Structure 1
Amino acid sequence: MADRVGRLRAAYGAGARHLLVLLACFAVASWVALRLAGEADRLRMLAWFVGAVVVHDLVLFPVYATADRVLRRLTVRRAPLNHVRVPALASALLFVVYLPGILGLGGSAYESATGRQPAPLLGRWLALSASFFLVSTVVYIFRRWRRDRS
């Protein structure tokens, strides 16, 4: 048994659980692709998906990898770094997901799809992002206080 696991790890590069999770992800992605195959806007969705992959790999990844490297060099200790990373990631993820609403774009498409007027999201996104950083700051201060006390 251990020999089979060792051969799988040598051939595949990871363990059996990783392979199973990856196969499950491919199954879900295939199901979504089959569901979208009958949609009228499938080519537009495919173009958006390919564009998102290209923009992420060629633009966004180098930007946030560089920002992380700068943050690592600026912080002497690693502890506060995650208290900046986590709220920044949450804020960036919300920004990307709600980008058209935050920038005030796509109002007619939103209204035709939902039958509702688009709500202004910029103020809400800013408030939510500020709350992410505030909670992270409070957690960091509490951890420092508890560590200094003991």
Structure 2
Amino acid sequence: MSRFPRWYGANPLHLLVLICSLAVTGYACVRLFAQRPVEVAIWLVGAAVLHDLILLPLYSLADLSARSVLRHRARHMPTPAWINYLRVPSFLSGVLLLVWFPLIFRLPGPYRGATGLTDAIYIGRWLAVTAILFGLSALLFALKLGRIHRQAPGGEAQPPRAPRQPSSTG
């Protein structure tokens, strides 16, 4: 068993989870293709084209722009990997927008009957959730930054300063 991680590259639990996820994905594909094969194939090709030709260049450009704008900092001060504190809330907000865009942008559809709510509330709620995500991310970044700056340059935490003792030769 000690040779398995060297041969496979990870522990056996990783392989088991990978096989289970592939089995679930295969089952879903078989069920979907059995009912609507043409629509599923069009959706998969469209999703790949949309992601690779439109979305990937857009969020790569956004990431590059954020790095170039925010790269100016004091060189002597250590900082955590700040870009992830922008990437995670941006990703989560984007996924929410992708899932709920018909309701957020008030597109016509059968959604009102399904939810029982008017479509006027979704944009405000999405913006509120996005603001909360970025606020929590900023708070976590500030806490991480504070913890880093409390540490000494060598990486060890600085002990609290002892009060000065009066000298006896005075």
Give me the TM-score of the superposition, normalised by structure 2.
Answer: 0.64
Partner of 2:57: 62
1:88 has 2:83 as partner: no
Distance 1:19 1:84, change over 3 A: same
Deviation string for 1:37-83 (max 9, x for gaps)? Answer: 454x6543442332122101111112112222232333255532221
Q: Distance in 1 between matches of 2:116 and 2:37?
A: 24
- Letter of the 1:99 counterpart: F
Structure 1 vs Structure 2 CA RMSD: 3.1
- Distance in 1 (CA, whole Å) between partners of 2:65 and 2:115 is 45
Secondary structure of 1:80's match?
coil
For residues 133 and 23 of structure 1, the distance between their equivalents in structure 2, rounded to whole angstroms, comes to 35
The CA deviation at 1:22 is 4.7
Distance 2:145 2:136 in 1: 14
Identify the residue that residue 35 of structure 1 maps to in structure 2: 31
The equivalences for 1:114-125 within 5 A come to: 114=114, 116-117=116-117, 119-120=119-120, 121-125=122-126
Equivalent position of 1:104 in the other structure: 106
Higher share in helix: 1
In the alignment, the residues of structure 2 paired with residue 21 and residue 66 of structure 1 have an alpha-carbon distance, to the nearest angstrom, of: 34
Q: Distance in 2 between matches of 1:45 and 1:117?
A: 30
Quickly say closer, same or farther: Cα 1:101–1:139, change in 2 above 3 A: same
Secondary structure, counterpart of 2:83 in structure 1 = helix
CA distance 1:92–1:129, change in 2 (3 Å): same
User: Which structure has the greater CA radius of gyration?
Assistant: 2
Which residue identity does 1:127 align to in structure 2?
A: A
Unaligned runs of 5+ in 2: 74-78, 152-170
Identity of aligned residues (%): 34
Q: 1:20 to 1:53 in 2, by over 3 A?
A: farther
Kept in 2: contact 1:101–1:118 (CA 8 A): no
2:76 matched to which residue of 1? none
Unaligned runs of 5+ in 1: none
Amino acid at match of 2:56: F
Aligned equivalent of 1:24, options 17, 20, 26? 20
2:107 is paired with a residue whose SS is coil
Change beyond 3 A, Cα 1:2–1:148: closer
Residues 72 and 78 of structure 1 are in contact (CA less than 8 Å); yes or no, is this contact kept in structure 2? no
